[in-house]
Amino acid sequence: MKLSIQEVEHIAELARLRLTDAEKEKYSEQLSNILGYMEKLQTVDMDNIEPTSQVTGLTNIMREDEVVESGIADELVACSPDSGDGYVKIPKIFENK
């Protein structure tokens, strides 16, 4: 199991991480090593074994669909790096042509 630099670049792009060349080298080696260990998972016959995604036994916890004021809406918006008039500001994503 060897992860190429191209594969590392592809994963980084999906994960929205900008990696330096040194990081790409390092992750190519380390991820290959870690995923090599994960080959253990392929050694077990798991036909007919149900996957467990969580262990609470709970499903669909419902509540009334009511508006509850947090009381901190302004403070939450103010946590963003750029905000104004109660909105989070982001750079333009559409240009007028």
Binding mask 74-93 for other proteins (x = CB under 8 A): -xx-xxxxx-----x-xxxx
Q: Which two tokens stand for residue 50?
A: 């149900």
Polymer length in residues for the chain = 97
87 to 6, 75, 76, 91, 93: CA distances (angstroms): 39, 11, 10, 13, 16
Residue 22 makes contact with other proteins by CB under 8 A: no
| Residue of the chain from 4, 25, 34, 87 that contacts other proteins (CB under 8 A) | 34
| Three-state secondary structure call for residue 87 | strand
Instruction: Please state, in angstroms and rounded to a whole number, the distance separating the CA atoms of residues 86 and 82.
Output: 11
Residue 65 makes contact with other proteins by CB under 8 A: no
- Helix and strand element counts for the chain (H, E): 3, 2
Number of residues that bind other proteins (CB under 8 A): 51
Q: How far is the CB of 80 from other proteins (least distance, A)?
A: 5
Where on the chain is the footprint of other proteins (CB under 8 A)?
3, 7-8, 11-12, 14-19, 23, 27, 30-31, 33-35, 37-38, 40-42, 44, 46, 49-58, 61, 63, 70, 72, 75-76, 78-82, 88, 90-93
